[in-house]
Structure 1
Amino acid sequence: MSELTKNNLLFGILFTSFTTPFIFFMMGLPMILQMKGFDPSLIGFFQLIAIPTVLKFLFSTPIDKITFTKNHYKKWIYFTAIIYIILLISISFLSLEENPTLIFIAILITALISTFIDIPLNALAIKVFHKNQRISAGSFKISSFFLAGLLGGGVFLLIYNHLGWNFTFLIMALLILCSLIALNFIEESNEKIEEVKVSFKTIFSFFKQKDIGIWTFILMFYFAFISAVWVFMKPYLISKGINPDDVAIYVGIYGSIVGFIGGIATSIIAKKFTRKSLLISFMGFNILSVFILVIAEQINTSFNYYFITITFTALAIAFSSAIIFSMIMDYSRNNSRAIDYSVQASLFAFTRIISAVIAGLFVSKLGYSSMFIFEIIGMIFVIFIIYKFFENNRAC
C-alpha cells in the first residue's frame, strides 16, 4: 500500500467518525423527535445546534496560541476527541422525553466540539499531504462525509430503533475512541505552518470584491430552501405512517448513496456549462423535486411514490451543494483562502439553520403543504434574481 493511500484511509476513518454524530444530530434527531410526538417547531428549533458552524472561522485562535513542540495538531485532536467522547457518553444517560431543553444544551456543546475538532484535523491534513496529493485527499474527504451521512443519517437510526437512546450514543462514542487508533499511524512533522491571523479587517475586505453582493445573496439563499425540505424529509415520512426502519434505510442510507452519485454526476455535467446555466438548471431541478412533494400531499400515494421524492430531493441536495461549494473556491482569494472560505461557509450555514427553523414553524402552524409551497416560492425568487443580476458566465 502506498503512503498516499494509507494516509487517505487513516484520515478517512477520522473524518467519518468525527462527523457521524453531527450528522445524526442534524438528520437523525428530527426523525426521533417526530416519532416521540414533539411539535414540528421544536424539530426546526433543534437545527440551531449547528450554530457553532457559523462561528467556525473564529475557532483557530486557541490552536494558534497554545502550541506543542511535537505533534501539535495530533495532540489537539486527541484532547478534543476525549472531550467529545465524554459528552456523547453523558448524553446517553439523559432523557429526551423528560428534559428536551437539557438535551438541546448538551447536544449544542457537543456540536461545538465536533466543529472545533475539524480545525486541527484539517490543519494536520495540510501538513501531511503534499500539494500534488491534495486532490486525492479531497476526494477521500468528500467520500468520508457521505459515509458519515450513511452512518449518522441511516445506520445509527436503525440502532436507535432497535437498541434505544443509551446504546446509540455509547456506540458513537466507541466509534470515535476506536478511530483514534488511526491517529497513531499518521506522522506529523514538527514544521510550523504560518497561518493568516483572523482579523475583522481581513474578514470585511472579503466583501469588497467585485460583484460580491450578488454572490453573497446566492451563497446565503440558493441552498437554504432545498436544505429545509431535506431536514424535514424523515419527519414527513414518519408522519405518513411509514415504518421508521424504512425511513432510516431509504432516506439515510439510500439517500446518501444517491447524493454520492449526484456529486460525481455534477463534476461531469459542470464541464460543459457555465456557472449561471448550472445555477438556473439546478434550481429548476430543486423546484421540481419539491413540487413532487406538493403533489404527494394532494393525492393518495404509495411508498413507491415517496421513494421517487427521496431520489429527486437527494439529487437536488447533491447538485446544489456541489455547485455552491465549487463557487466558494472561486471567491476565495489566493492570499486569504482559509479565512475567505470560512466566512462563506459561515454565511452558508447561518441561512441553512434559519431556513430549517422557519420551516418548522410553517409545519407546526400550517402543515407540510404550506411549508413546501413556501420553499418553492423562495426558490422561484432566487432563480429570478440569478437570471436578472448574475453575470458570471465562465465555464466550470
Structure 2
Amino acid sequence: MSTPKRWGLQLLFGWMNLVLAVPSIYLMFGLPLVLRQHGWEGTEIGLLQLAALPAIFKFLFAMPVQRVRFGRGHFVHWLWLMSALLLAMYVAIGWQNLIAHKLPLFALTFLISIATTWLDIPVNALAVQWLPRSEQLRAGSIRSAALFIGAIVGGGVMVLVLSRWGWQAPFVIMGAALLGGCLPFAALRAQASLPVQDSATDNTPPAILADWASFFAQPGATQWTWMLLTSFPFIGAVWLFLKPLMLDQGMPLEQVAWTIGIAGGVTGALFSLIGGRLISVLGTARAIVLYLLAALAALVLLTVVVWAKLGAVWLTISALIVAASMGAISALMFGLTMFFTRRQRNASDYGLQSTIFTVARLVVPVAAGVMLDYLGQVGMLTGMSIGVLCALGLALRARHSVGATAQKVMARED
C-alpha cells in the first residue's frame, strides 16, 4: 500500500471517529449547560447521562456486524446502514426544538447513542481490516486525538453554534460531516484487495461464546485485558473531576473553561499523536511502563499542588501534564486494541475489548466521586494515584507478553 493511500485511510478513519465522538459529547456534556439555563433539574440532567449505557453492550452489537453478511464488503454495508439510521435520528431530533420536551429528547438521545455505538464497530473493524499492522499504532493515536478534538467541538463549539444559529444547526452540521465521511467508502468498497472474511454465520450462543473464549486464548490476551481495565480509567476519572476541582480551588469559571476545555483538549490531542509516534521508537513494552509512570507522576504532582494550595499557575501546569499523559495512554490503548483484534474476528474482538474498556471507564468515576465526597480532593487524588500505581504494577508484569504479541502480529503480516 502506497504512503499517500495509507495516509488517506488514516485521515478517513480519524474523521469518522471524530464524527462519532461529537454527537455523544454534545448531547451529554455540552447541551446540559443549555438545558440547565432552561430550568432542567439536576436529576433530569443526570438521567440524561444514562444514554451512554449502550456503549456497555458493544460486544453484543458486534455479533451481528461480524456474522450477518451483506455481500462483498459487508462491513461497508453495515457502516452505511447504521449511518442512515443515525442521519434519520438527526432529522428527528432536529425537526423541532425539544428543550421543553424532556421525554422525546431523552428517547432520541438514547437512540443516537445506540446508533453511534453500533456504527463505531464497522468503522474500526474496517480500520483493522484495511490498515497494515504497522500502521495501527498510528491509527490508535489519530483516534485518540480525534476524541480530544471531539470533546472541544461537542462540548464547546456546538454549544456556540446552538446559541447563535438555533436548535437545528448542530444537527445539520453533524449530519453533513457524517455524510461526507461515508461517501469515500463507495470507492474503497470496490477494491478487490480486501481480505477474505471468515465464512461462519452460526449465531447460536455456543458459537458466540466460542468467539469470546478464543479471544482470551490468544497469547498475552489475559494480561492485556487487565491492562485494558486499569491503565486509563483512573487518570480519566481525574480528568472528569478537574473542572469542579479547579473551581473549588478558586479558579474563575472562564479560566477553567479555557484550561480544561480548550488548552487541555489541544494538549491531549497533540500528545496522542506524539505518544503514538514514540511507541514505535521506544517499543511497546517500554512505552507501556513509561506512559504509566508519566501518568503516575502527573497525578502525584496534581495531588501536591492541591494539597499545598500552590495556586492557579501550578494548577494549570499540572492539569496540562495530566492531559498530556492521558493522551499518550489513550493512544497506546487504542493501538494495542487493534493488535489484539484478529482480522477474521475483527468486529467481535473489537466490540468485546471496547466493552471491557467502557465498563472500567464508567465504574471508576463513580468510586472517585464517592471518594471526593467522603475524603475530599486530596483523598480522591491520592486514591486515583494509587490506582495508577496498581496499574503500573500490572503493566510491569504484562509488558513483555503484550509487547511480544504486538511484535509477532506485525512480523507475521509484514
TM-score (norm 1): 0.75
Quote the offset at 1:81 in angstroms: 1.5
- Against the structure 1 CA distance between its residues 180 and 322, is the aligned structure 2 distance closer, same or farther, given a 3 Å change threshold? closer
Question: Is the Cα contact below 8 Å between 2:231 and 2:391 reproduced in 1?
Answer: no
Quote the offset at 1:195 in angstroms: 6.5
1:174 match: 176
- Map 1:128-143 onto structure 2 (within 5 A): 128-129=130-131, 140-143=142-145
Residue of 371, 378, 382 corresponding to 1:376: 382
2:282 match: 271
Q: Which runs of 5+ in 1 are unaligned?
A: none
**What CA RMSD, in Å, does the superposition of the two structures yield over aligned residues?**
4.3
Give the secondary structure class of the aligned counterpart of 1:171. Answer: helix
Residue of 63, 66, 69 corresponding to 1:67: 69
Quote the offset at 1:346 in angstroms: 1.5
- Against the structure 1 CA distance between its residues 286 and 324, is the aligned structure 2 distance closer, same or farther, given a 3 Å change threshold? farther
Question: Is the Cα contact below 8 Å between 1:224 and 1:352 reproduced in 2?
Answer: yes
Question: Is the Cα contact below 8 Å between 1:220 and 1:348 reproduced in 2?
Answer: yes
For 2:224 and 2:187, how far apart are their aligned partners in 1?
42
For 1:11 and 1:62, how far apart are their aligned partners in 2?
21
For 1:171 and 1:234, how far apart are their aligned partners in 2?
28
1:18 equivalent to 2:20? Answer yes
| Structure 2 counterpart of 1:308, one-letter code | I
Quote the offset at 1:112 in angstroms: 1.3
For 1:30 and 1:316, how far apart are their aligned partners in 2?
28
Of 176-185 and 78-87, more deviation after overlay is shown by: 176-185
For 1:142 and 1:381, how far apart are their aligned partners in 2?
22
Question: Is the Cα contact below 8 Å between 2:268 and 2:326 reproduced in 1?
Answer: yes
- Against the structure 1 CA distance between its residues 7 and 276, is the aligned structure 2 distance closer, same or farther, given a 3 Å change threshold? closer
1:284 match: 296
For 1:226 and 1:33, how far apart are their aligned partners in 2?
28
- Cα offsets for 1:285-341 (capped at 9, x unmatched): 242254166348x57x44x45533431221131233244445556766798676445
| Structure 1 counterpart of 2:65, one-letter code | I
- Cα offsets for 1:212-265 (capped at 9, x unmatched): 776544432332222122223345567767456x65554333223211332344
- Against the structure 1 CA distance between its residues 391 and 95, is the aligned structure 2 distance closer, same or farther, given a 3 Å change threshold? same
Question: Is the Cα contact below 8 Å between 2:90 and 2:172 reproduced in 1?
Answer: yes
1:193 match: 197
For 2:158 and 2:147, how far apart are their aligned partners in 1?
15
Residue of 355, 361, 365 corresponding to 1:356: 365
Give the secondary structure class of the aligned counterpart of 1:55. Answer: helix
- Cα offsets for 1:68-112 (capped at 9, x unmatched): 34653333323321221232343344545662x654443222111
| Structure 1 counterpart of 2:197, one-letter code | I
- Against the structure 1 CA distance between its residues 231 and 17, is the aligned structure 2 distance closer, same or farther, given a 3 Å change threshold? same
- Against the structure 1 CA distance between its residues 193 and 255, is the aligned structure 2 distance closer, same or farther, given a 3 Å change threshold? same
- Map 1:1-396 onto structure 2 (within 5 A): 2-25=4-27, 27-29=29-31, 46-64=48-66, 66-69=68-71, 72-92=74-94, 93=96, 95-96=98-99, 99=102, 102-126=104-128, 128-129=130-131, 140-160=142-162, 162-163=164-165, 165-189=167-191, 193-194=197-198, 199-207=208-216, 216-234=225-243, 242-243=252-253, 249-267=258-276, 268=278, 271=282, 274=286, 277-278=289-290, 281-288=293-300, 290-291=302-303, 294-295=306-307, 301-302=311-312, 304-325=313-334, 328=337, 339-360=348-369, 366=373, 370=376, 373-384=379-390, 386-387=392-393, 390-392=396-398, 394=400
Question: Is the Cα contact below 8 Å between 2:89 and 2:112 reproduced in 1?
Answer: yes
Quote the offset at 1:271 in angstroms: 1.0
Of 74-83 and 40-49, more deviation after overlay is shown by: 40-49
Quote the offset at 1:127 in angstroms: 5.3
Question: Is the Cα contact below 8 Å between 2:20 and 2:116 reproduced in 1?
Answer: yes
Give the secondary structure class of the aligned counterpart of 2:190. Answer: coil
Question: Is the Cα contact below 8 Å between 2:25 and 2:154 reproduced in 1?
Answer: yes
Q: Which runs of 5+ in 2 are unaligned?
A: 202-206, 404-414
Question: Is the Cα contact below 8 Å between 1:71 and 1:189 reproduced in 2?
Answer: no
Question: Is the Cα contact below 8 Å between 1:49 and 1:108 reproduced in 2?
Answer: yes
Of 116-125 and 228-237, more deviation after overlay is shown by: 228-237
Percent identity, aligned pairs only, is 24
For 2:303 and 2:36, how far apart are their aligned partners in 1?
23
| Structure 1 counterpart of 2:18, one-letter code | T
- Cα offsets for 1:102-159 (capped at 9, x unmatched): 5444322211110111222234445555667666666655554444344224422433
For 1:225 and 1:323, how far apart are their aligned partners in 2?
15
Quote the offset at 1:284 in angstroms: 1.8
- Cα offsets for 1:15-43 (capped at 9, x unmatched): 33233213434553566577778777777
For 1:306 and 1:117, how far apart are their aligned partners in 2?
38
